[in-house]
């Protein structure tokens, strides 16, 4: 995860935490943070769902906070399978549903170990 992504997820993180966990940025350029997009009115979302239009899409990010990083290719993803299953069940979908995008990352910490879960949903 680069500095931009860390700052976007953790806007109040200290400089030392960002420096310790950010992947090197090619050319030293970090894009500016995105401004929040104005959301659609809740009424329009409810009407679309009642009329059977659109659907919900999810982007779920699991950030493993660890004292010693693990292999990000296989172990990181497979080590969180039970958590993925629990989240998928909680939102009422199968974890292989194409409307769900799963993202995995890890950061090094000197504090307590655990997993930070962010769930972003968007209505088509």
Is 17 domain-assigned?
A: no
Is 114 domain-assigned?
A: yes
- Cα distance between residue 120 and residue 63, in whole Å: 14
Is 49 domain-assigned?
A: no
**In this predicted model, which residue has the larger pLDDT, 81 or 45?**
81
CA nearest neighbour of 120 among 52, 35, 56: 56
pLDDT in tens, 59-108: 999 999 999 988 877 788 888 999 999 999 988 889 999 989 999 999 99
Domain count along the chain = 1
What tokens appear for 24 in the block?
A: 């090197």
Question: What dihedral angle (degrees, nearest 10) is formed by the CA atoms of 7, 13, 15, 19?
Answer: -60
Is 88 domain-assigned?
A: yes
Asked whether the whole model's pTM tops 0.75, one would answer no
Is 33 domain-assigned?
A: no
Is 30 domain-assigned?
A: no
**In this predicted model, which residue has the larger pLDDT, 16 or 122?**
122
Question: What phi and psi values does residue 31 have, to the nearest 5 degrees?
Answer: -65, 155
Q: Show the domain range for 100.
A: 54-123
Is 89 domain-assigned?
A: yes
Is 6 domain-assigned?
A: no
């Amino acid at each position: 995860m680069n500095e931009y992504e860390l700052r976007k997820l953790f806007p109040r993180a200290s400089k030392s935490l960002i420096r310790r966990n950010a992947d090197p940025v090619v050319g030293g350029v970090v894009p500016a943070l995105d401004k929040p997009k104005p959301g659609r009115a809740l009424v329009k979302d409810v009407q679309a769902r009642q009329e059977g239009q659109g659907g919900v899409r999810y982007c779920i990010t699991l950030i493993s906070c660890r004292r010693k990083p693990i292999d990000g290719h296989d172990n990181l993803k497979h080590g969180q399978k039970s958590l993925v299953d629990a989240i998928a069940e909680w939102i009422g979908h199968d974890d292989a549903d194409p409307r769900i995008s799963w993202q995995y990352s890890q950061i090094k910490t000197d504090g307590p170990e655990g997993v930070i879960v962010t769930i972003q949903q968007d209505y088509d």
